[in-house]
Every structure is written in C-alpha cells, then in structure tokens.
Amino acid sequence: MPLNVAVQMDPLDAINIAGDSTFALMLSAQARGHRLFHYAPEDLNYSGGQVWTKAHPVSVQRVVGSHFQFGEPVRLDLGDEADVVLMRQDPPFDLGYITATHLLERIAHKTLVVNDPASVRNAPEKVFVLDYARFMPPTLVTRSLDEARAFLATHGEIVVKPLHGNGGKAIFKVGKDGANLASLIEVFNTAYREPHMVQAFLPSVAAGDKRIVLVDGVVAGAVNRVPGEGEIRSNLAVGGTAAKTELTAREVEICEALGPELEKRGLIFVGIDVIGGEWLTEINVTSPTGIVAIDRFNGTDTGGMIWDAIEARIAARG
C-alpha cells in the first residue's frame, strides 16, 4: 500500500546525493510507490491537538544538479495525512531539535515517526552510550579543568569533544604535557553550557572508526572510516575515507547487547561507532548516516531493509 512519507530534513539543494543516507531512503521509498513530502523542522505548527507543516510534494532522482523536483506546497496534517515522518535533519541537538521531538511526539500515536521522537530526545549520541559503559573507553563527563587534568594524568593522552557535537566537529587531542588543556576547557565552557566528554585517546583510531548500522536492532552492515593524513577524526564529513570491513567478535557482542533496547525504543535506524574493533564511542540516533557506503561495498540494500522495518511496524499497528 502506498504511504504518505513526510521527510523532515535540511534543504534538499544542499545535500551530496552521492553519499546522503536520507536521499537514499527517499529513493527507496519512491521506488516502492510511496509519496514523498519535504519540509523543514522550523515549519512545524501546533494548534488544537494538530501538528501540521507547509510541505512540498517531491520526486527525486540520482542526477547531480537535478536530483529533486518540488510540487506546489500544501498544508500537510502530520497526524491525519501522513503515514510516516522521517525525522532526518542534521544536529546540533539543541532546543530547536528537542522542540521538534516534543511536537512530533503528539502525533506518534497515529503516525509512525522514525526514529521515535521521545526516544531520540532521551538518547543523545554521547549520553545514551553511557548505558553501555562496559564497552566504552575510559570516559569522563565534566566542565572541570581539575577533573580533566586528573584524567589526563591517569591516561596519558586524551580526546576532548562536545557532548552534543556531530560530524566529527570540535574534537581535540591533548598530549601528555597537557599543553592548551586549560585554554581548551575555557573555550568549551564559554561555548557550551553543558558538560563535555573527555576520553582516553585510542591509538587504534589510526586504523579506522567503524560505523555499524542496525535496523530495528539487527545489524544491516558496517563500513570502516579511516582518518585522513594528520587527522584523528575519521568521519567522512571531515575527510575520512570509507573501506570495506567485517565485524569482530567484540562488535557482534556489542550489537547483541544494544539490539533489543533499540527495537524496544522504536529506534529503527541507528548507527554506532566502534574504534579498534572493541571500543564503543557513540550510538547515533538523530540522523545516522553510512548506508550508501555500506551498500556500495557489500551489495546490500540497507534502505530497503529500513523500509521493510517501517512497513512491518505500520502493518502491526493495524
């Protein structure tokens, strides 16, 4: 049965269609006969129990420079006229993002929101992962320079990053001498009101940071992201390169531990990050990426797997 699919995302004209996971999901939905609508999160409205938006019917094609075509905008009631909402705008995970989850939560009993908005709000990437600390590298969450210095003294080299950052932005390595740690914590404390994440530096990151995608708690595939020359960050958005990979026994154990909880929370499309085949660093639920590279290396159809899971959940609702 064709579904009305509302895609809440950033402007379509700014995406890189060669690797964008949301675009891949839209292509997959369109191939199944589903109808697509595009809107921006700032266009959400609420009144009298209804949540609606100005949305453009949209068709997509994998043609650079001509990859989408908008129809005339419509007033789309997300509770009564949409079957699925894909919440796919990029972080930052700020009050605007959080407010969108609150609004979409009000229609989630009628419309399937992917990922579940309440679960997204309660599972920020670098906070939810703390539930699985047994798989993580040594980690400190703090705003305190004294605590960061003590952590550095214990672990020799550390990485400091924003608790709600994304895409490999603002990640700093601090060496044993602690040079610039005081200045770095000062800058972070000025820029962010929340605490920051400090972790022991893992030299094995030089061999890559693996992105593993899980669909409704089941492993769909993985890709290894290798840092560029002179970099510790392996995110593809900051110059990392993708490579084919397989899961280690430890990574299988991590996925088996996470899977049931992800399914229970309605986190259908999740990307986890693992360094050195053993160290879990993030559980990405807001707008995970990586499916295009995974499918290119493995000949799989992760987008199709995601739509199978979405359609199954809708059918189960009756």
Q: Which residues are catalytic?
A: 126, 161, 211, 225, 233, 273, 282, 284
- What's the per-residue H, E or C state across 147-170? HHHHHHHHHCCEEEEECCCCCCCC
Between CA 99 and CA 54 the distance in angstroms is 17
Between CA 46 and CA 62 the distance in angstroms is 34
Closest CA to 108 of 97, 120, 92, 124: 120
Three-state SS for 26? helix
Give ∠ CA 264-291-170 in degrees, rounded to 5. 90
Helices (H) and strands (E) in the chain, counts: 9, 17
Q: If you write DSSP's letter for every residue of 236-254 in order, what string do you get?
A: GGGT-EEE-----HHHHHH
Q: How many CA atoms lie within 13 A of 264 on its CB side?
A: 6
Residue 240: φ, ψ to 5°: -70, 160
Between CA 100 and CA 90 the distance in angstroms is 12
CB atoms within 10 A of CB 154: 11
Instruction: Name the burial class of residue 77, with classes exposed (0-12), middle (13-18) and buried (19+) by CB atoms within 10 angstroms of its CB.
Output: middle
Query: Across 227-300, where does the E strand assignment appear?
Result: 241-243, 269-275, 279-284
Closest CA to 245 of 203, 213, 283, 280: 213
Closest CA to 212 of 278, 260, 166, 167: 278
